[in-house]
Amino acid sequence: MATVSLKGTIKSITETQYFGASNFAKRDVILVTDEQYPQTLKIAILGEEKCNMISNYQQGQKVSLEANLNGKEWNDKIFIELALWKIESLQGGNTATSAKTTTTSVKPTATELVKETIQQENIDIEELPF
């Protein structure tokens, strides 16, 4: 599993949503990256513990975060998701980490990982649902 490090500004954080009989919790944070060509990325926050760790953050706050790059195939299409597991404020104060803290030594940008996956899987960009 690939790990991605990102720095940027929080554009928005969704309310917690609960799914299924087990009340599985999910939130999303929209991040605008600090790059020459800023990217707007949706990062999933999965599970109650991780949903709670984002509560102390707000729109406009600069953060550094770590996320796992997850991919799924459905109906011959590949879907990619970034799943948050660590977030730190770049303005001081907040640091939150889930129980999982394994990282890889090489941390490519999200854009690089998506481009690599598209090339490896020979995905037609025009068919992506986003």
**Per-residue pLDDT tens over the stretch 70-109:** 898 989 999 889 999 899 998 765 545 443 332 223 345 5
pTM of the model: 0.66
Structural domain that includes position 48: 2-127
Query: At 21, which CATH number?
Result: 2.40.50.140
Q: How many domains does the chain have?
A: 1
Whole-Å CA distances, 6 to 20, 31, 77, 90: 31, 9, 26, 12
